Amino acid sequence: MSEFIQIEIDPNLCAGTEECGKCVTVCPVNIFEPGSPLPGISETNEDECTLCELCLQNCGPRAIQIHKLYED
Amino acid sequence: MMRLLEYKSKEILVKNGIPIPSSVLVSDLSHASFPLPAVLKAQVPIGGRQKAGGVVEVQTRQEAEAHLQRLLSSEVRGHPVESVLIEERVETTREFYLGITVDTVAKKPIAIFSTEGGIEVEETSKKNPNAVLKRHFPASTGLPEFRAREMISQCGIRGRLLLRLSATLSRLTAIFTRYDATIAEINPLAQTADGKVIALDCHMELDDDALFRHATLASLSQKSKQQKGHSEKGDFEKKAAEIDRLDQRGVAGRLIAFDGDLGLIIGGGGASLTAFDAVLRHEGRPANYCEIGGNPSVLKTKELTKLILSKPGVEKLAVIMNIVSNTRVDLMARGVIKGILESGRVPSETLAVFRIPGAWEEEGFKILRKYGVEYCDRTVSIDEAARIAVEKTRGNL
């Protein structure tokens, strides 16, 4: 389970792995998995998130949210 | 560094004109002939063999065979004894220390001579600094005999003894450079009743990066590793190496185990040695030495933390690094905190100190604050962080 970072994909906004899937490609630490129809999140990898925000920049519909659990 | 066994170091001495006692190397209970009385010396790549029972004096052949049998079926500080050097016992009138190493501050080789051989030169330096002479010399030329004479004569040694000692020192500097050694030590160099000098023990270590120039010696190292199956590494070190191999990011697994109560996660441009020495200076008891850096993944840091905390007797953990640029403070903090939590411990009670200033420190400090961990920024030196860790482990802070 992730302790520090939680990543959410809004299913109502995400275009899906087949149509987009950019988050799966750009994440340097493989947090996003090529699920169907939506990308999945690797819980074991969430804490490896480097906060590079490449996923946010590449997500056209802005479906991704990154939560820093230590700031709550 | 590749440490040569004593017999191999002595072969090099003889080749270069430095006398040694007559001896025979045995690896089984063969009927080898040897002089008596003799000294039996286990051939293992460590210092302090005498204290560890690896060196014994014998008077008779029966005594020699009994000790030989015992040595060849035993280990000396974890090193199996594969061969024993049986050496004639030499009557000595005086003992000296000769050592060559690299002065890493001056970035030059340095020759060290002491009139008090047989014991560790560091001890002599502390108790009687005037008895230890040091002189830098160029790696390209070694120390010429006339320079060695200038050096040794400062101790008041004159005549033939001066000539013999300076010739030996000069030859040792030549060996040091020719064999790409990082250390070449004769301790003791003994004076015999007839005034000659003879090397009773020799310690040589060669630079691993230069072993390709010494194929025969390098093959000895390979053979030795194959025979032992790398048995010099304990389970703790092996598990750490496995953690380091979990992924390619950074280094988090080069560990050496000790018997202390303070686990160490240390590193950053040589800071691991600085931090380790600082813990010792403040009379702390490290549970391990460690090298961490190059921005390891959270997973690796977490697993390393768990491994160190699983070691019996580890009370607290000190995380100390130099100011980091390519390692991220927040990722280190995540790994350490997660490792502590998964070990079933409380971060604020387990972490004696967390001193990693540098890249992403604000984010890292936010994480530490959330878990009630006191952290140190760059205004706290590595030495001070080590002191805090030692004091907290003792319950003084």
Q: For the segment B332-373, what is each residue's pLDDT rounded down to a tens digit?
A: 999 999 999 999 999 999 999 999 999 999 999 999 999 999
Q: Contacts of residue A43 in chain B, CB cutoff 8 Å?
A: none
Alpha carbon of A3: minimum distance to chain B alpha carbons (Å): 7
Considering only the beta carbons, identify the residue of B299, B328, B366 that sits closest to A70. Answer: B366
Phi–psi pair at B377, nearest 5 degrees: -95, -165
- Supply the pLDDT for residue B230: 40
Domains recognised in chain B with CATH numbers = 22-88 (3.30.1490.20), 92-226 (3.30.470.20), 235-394 (3.40.50.261)
Q: 8-27 in A: which are within 8 Å (CB) of B?
A: none
Q: Mean pLDDT for each consecutive 10-residue tract of chain B (397 residues)?
A: 92 97 88 87 90 92 91 88 94 95 92 87 76 93 95 95 97 96 96 95 92 86 52 76 92 88 91 94 94 95 97 96 95 98 97 97 97 95 97 91
* pLDDT at residue A47, rounded to an integer: 97
How far apart CA A30 and CA B248 sit, in angstroms, is 14
- What pTM was computed for the model? 0.60
Question: Quick check: B298 and A47 CB within 8 A?
Answer: yes
**What range defines the domain where residue A66 resides?**
5-71
Q: Are B267 and B292 in contact (CB under 8 A)?
A: yes
Task: Indicate the number of domains in chain A.
Answer: 1
Which CATH number belongs to the domain containing residue A39 in this structure? 3.30.70.20
Which candidate in A70, A71, A72 is best for mutational testing of the B interface (most B CBs within 10 A)? Answer: A70
Per-residue pLDDT tens listing for chain A (72 residues): 799 999 999 999 999 999 999 999 999 999 999 999 999 999 999 999 999 999 999 999 999 999 999 996
pLDDT at B350: 97
Q: Is the peptide bond before B37 cis (omega within 30 degrees of 0)?
A: yes
Rounded Cα distance between B386 and B282, Å, is: 7
pLDDT score for B225 = 53
pLDDT value at residue B238: 87
Report the C-alpha gap between B165 and B161 in whole angstroms. Answer: 6
Contact A48 B366 (CB under 8 A): no
Distance CA B75, CA B52 (A): 10
- Of A6, A40, A48, nearest to A21 by C-alpha is A40
Interface of A with B in 35-54 (CB under 8 A): 47-48, 50-51
Which residue in A29, A47, A71 is closest to B334 by CB distance? Answer: A47
Residues in A touching B330 (Cβ below 8 Å):
51
Task: Return the number of other C-beta atoms located less than 10 Å from residue B37's C-beta.
Answer: 12
Complex confidence, ipTM:
0.96
Across the interface, whether the CB atoms of B297 and A70 are under 8 A apart is answered: no
